[in-house]
Structure formats: structure tokens, C-alpha cells
Amino acid sequence: MRGPHNIWRLIRTGATLERTGAMGAILDAMDAPRPVRILARTVAWPFAWLGYKGDPSMPPATRALTALGPAYIKFGQILSTRPDVVGEEMAWHLRVLQDKLPPFSIEQAKAAVAAELDLSVEEIFEEFSEPVAAASIAQVHRARLKDTGEQVAVKVLRPGIERAFQRDIDAFYFAADVIEFLSPASRRLRPRDVIEHFEGVVMGELDLRLESASASEFAANTVNDQGFKLPQIKWGLSGRRVMTMTWAEGVPLGDNDAIDAAGLDRRVLGERVLQLFLSHALRDGYFHADMHQGNLKVAHNGDIIAYDFGIMGHIDEYTRRVYAEILFGFIQRDYQRVAEVHFEAGYVPNDRDVDEFARALRAVGEPIFGMDATHISMGRLLNYLFEVTERFGMETRTELILLQRTMVVVEGVARSLHPQINIWEVAKPVVQDYITQSMGPLALARDLGKTLRVLTRFGPRLPGLVENALIRQSTGPEEPAKPSGKAPVLWAILGAVIGGGLVAAIEALL
């Protein structure tokens, strides 16, 4: 229930951060301004005794987030990929949250498998190990199939995980409402919409049948990608709370020492991770949206192996083209074009000055262009980007949250492998290839071909549909048109032509 009782949950959150010492550690690591530190500590200190104690053997931040529960652990997993934001030491400590959390018992796991598959573990598997990895939502066991002897990974949801997540999400909704009420300026960031988006993502993670389907679709899209492999889903041994897949043998991508010992080139691996993500996002519009080190391995031949497909991102063709143009504009240092794309896509209100926005973007891009990652302060950069979004009234785009979040995580993973990586140089060939394929003459011909197929399919109905749409558009206030939830015809087609999405517009109208 989303009511004032959630105040208690939020108080305990602040109290736990203070009691475990995480409050000061996180603020110090992120180089928070002194007034912010004083305010946070002053508010939390009187309630410290109410906080969860956590595991004293853990470092402060890891101890606090683990004690607070799965939703907070997700946040810690993101920070664990950004040593440039929270510092090397804290990032290293937070990596425990990726796959080394306290597991639940093997007896509970076996009971969950039997309940889900209607067969006992002994009937299905010749061997079934203790947990080999445990994260916020599930844990993984290594097993051997009884009938074929094949090595597999069995993923089992944590008992009671649905209720634990819902409790945290309810508190987040309450916090978002309070923030919007107390700070009208924060509404452009759409905190409630962000929490709603987060809830949708998490709820999808809690049904392993959906994860199995995501893995299958992702495998079909990437089957020809060089240097990239995925485990295969065992559909007959998977259900809502249990998922079985082939075992992925390799070195954890977060273990640099093991990677070096295996004779693998970390620079190549860092570049490959970044390019694979961009390729999946731009080419397919479907990407792994939880690509931290705990979900990635490296095979002995250098192939990147991805697993854990609970969070997948999807972006439509129009958004992909906008994203690619923005990236390519930065790569080319064409800040005027980057600014124009933001305005054309509606990311910046039309009443703002496009030239002024271009100058603000230049102030973002020029200091970091051509520099390797070790010379870039992500903390200062993110702070300035926030100032820019506030100055130009840019609202949070919920459709881009997963894309932006994953880009932050993947860049962090690439940096951890190769600290001197230059993301612009690495991204350039992927973005350039996508633009060539999707915005040139051949792309136009493909778009026209798709449009003709749509028109052919709906040809007999098209005249009447267009006539009805034009009548609705011209209807005055005396005769209100019936709401259809669709954009006016002319604006829909015009916007689609500008963005290269004519097919989508016609299908929406039909």
C-alpha cells in the first residue's frame, strides 16, 4: 500500500545508512558538497539507532545496501561499475552485490525446483551443487542432467522476493510523491514515472518464463555476432520460478587478474563490450540492460559470454536513429547538429534557444573529446549535465531510462578492463555503420518498400480511413471528435517522415 506508513521505511533507510557508516562513505566517495553532507548527516543521525545493523564483516556501503533489501542492491550494482564516480575502493566493495550475496539454503532451492517442475531434483539431475552465485533476485546452482550428462546452470528465485521488492517500491513511490510536492522544480525529472518504469522492469525479472523468452529472442538476434556467445535455454526444465540453461564456462569479466593470467587482452575485451552493446541497441533495438561484470564471462578464446536476461531494453527505430545521430554528432564534434536533433525529437522545449543549447553541449563535449577515461572526472561531468538539463527544461524520458542506465554501466565495465579507453573512438565505427545502413538511400528505399506493403495490406480501407481522420481533425468545438488516442493525421505523418518512421505512423493511423 502506498501510504504514509512508508515514512517508516524511508526513515529506516536513512537510519541504516547512518548506523552502518555508509552515509558518510558514500557522500565522501561521490565528493558531495559540504552543505549536502552536513544536511544528510544531521537529518539521519538522530534516527541511527532505528537502522538495520547489517553484517559487520562487510564494508559500510555493501553492509547497508544488503541489509536494506533487493531494490537497494540493484542501485549498488550500478554504482559498482562506476569507480570514476564512487572511487576504486568502493566500486570494488560493491561488486559483491553482483553475484556474491548470502545465498538461501540448497534445501529451499531443491524444494522450489520440485514445486515448479513437478519432479524432484534427484529425478532430473545427476548432480546439483551448492549455490555458485547469489544476487538480489535469484541464485544459481551448477548441475548435471541425468539423461544426457550435460552441465547446466539452474537459476532459482529467492523465497519471498516478490513481497520484498513490492515493499521497497511502495516506499519509493511515496518518496517520489513527497519530492514532487515539496519541490515543484523536480517534476521535470518525473520521479514517479521513473519509479513506475523501475517497477515494470523488476516485475518482469520476477517471472523466469519471460527471462527465458528474452534469452531466446536475444540469441536469435545475435547468432552471427563475432566474439559473443549466449547459453541455451532448456525450456522443458524452466518455469516461472526456475530457469535452466547450458553452463557458460569462462573467466568472470570482473576478475582482471584471472583475465591477465589467461593471456587475454583487456583492451580488446573492453572495446568489444562497448561495441557489442551499441550494436545490439542500434542494429536490433533490443539489448541486454544489466551488463555488469556479474553477468558477463570471457571464454578461453576471448568470446564475451552474457547471461541473466531478466532486464532487457527495447527501443523503436525512430529513437534509435535519434540516439545514433546524437552520438555521431558528438563524435564529429558537430554540436549544432546534436542540438538540432534534441529539438527535433522533442527532448528540449521549443521555446529554448537552439544555438545556446549547442554552446552548452560544446562545453560538455570539448573538455573530454579525445581524452582517455583516466583524465575525465565523471562526477563533474554528470553534475554539469544535470545543470544543462535543468537550465533548458529537459524532462526525464522514461523510454530512454534503460538505454541511458545501460550505457553508464557498460562504459564502467569497459573502463574497468581498460582504464585508458577512448569511448568516442571505440563507438565511432558502430555508430557510423548504423547511420550508413539506416539513413542513406538504401534505408529510404527500404522504408518506402515497407510503406507500400502497409498500404497494399490496408489499401481497400485507406480512402475511408483518411477521410474519417481528416473529418476528426477539422471538427470544431460544437461537435467534439471522439477521442482516439492517436496523433492528428498531418502531424503524425510529418513527424514520422522527419524521423524516418513513416511506416509506424501509417500503421498507427490504420
Catalytic residues: 290
Strand spans (E) along 258-400:
286-288, 296-298, 304-306, 312-314
Total residue count of the chain as it appears in this document: 510
Please calculate the CA angle 116-122-127 and round it to the nearest 5 degrees: 110
For the chain, helix, strand, coil in percent to 5 are 65, 10, 25
Q: What is the DSSP string of 179-242?
A: HHHH-GGGGGG-HHHHHHHHHHHHHHHT-HHHHHHHHHHHHHHHTT-TTEE-PPB-GGG--SSE
Q: Is 18 helix (H, G, I), strand (E, B) or coil?
A: helix
Taking the C-alpha atoms of residue 423 and residue 355, their distance in angstroms, rounded to an integer, is 26
- Exposure string of 262-274, with b = 16+ CB inside 10 Å and e = fewer, is eebebeebbbbbb
Taking the C-alpha atoms of residue 488 and residue 486, their distance in angstroms, rounded to an integer, is 7
Yes or no: say if 374 and 420 are a contact pair by the CB < 8 Å rule: yes
Angle of the 423-439 helix axis to the 266-279 helix axis, nearest 10: 30
- CA-CA-CA-CA torsion for 330, 335, 337, 339, nearest 10 degrees? 110
Taking the C-alpha atoms of residue 455 and residue 462, their distance in angstroms, rounded to an integer, is 7
What residues contact residue 183 under an 8 Å CB cut-off, 6+ apart?
Answer: none
Write down the number of H helices and E strands in the chain. 25, 10
**CB neighbours of residue 48 within 10 Å:** 17
In terms of Cβ atoms closer than 10 Å to its own Cβ (0-12, 13-18, 19+), residue 453 is exposed
Largest CA distance in the chain: 77
| Closest residue by Cα to residue 251 from 240, 266, 236, 237 | 266
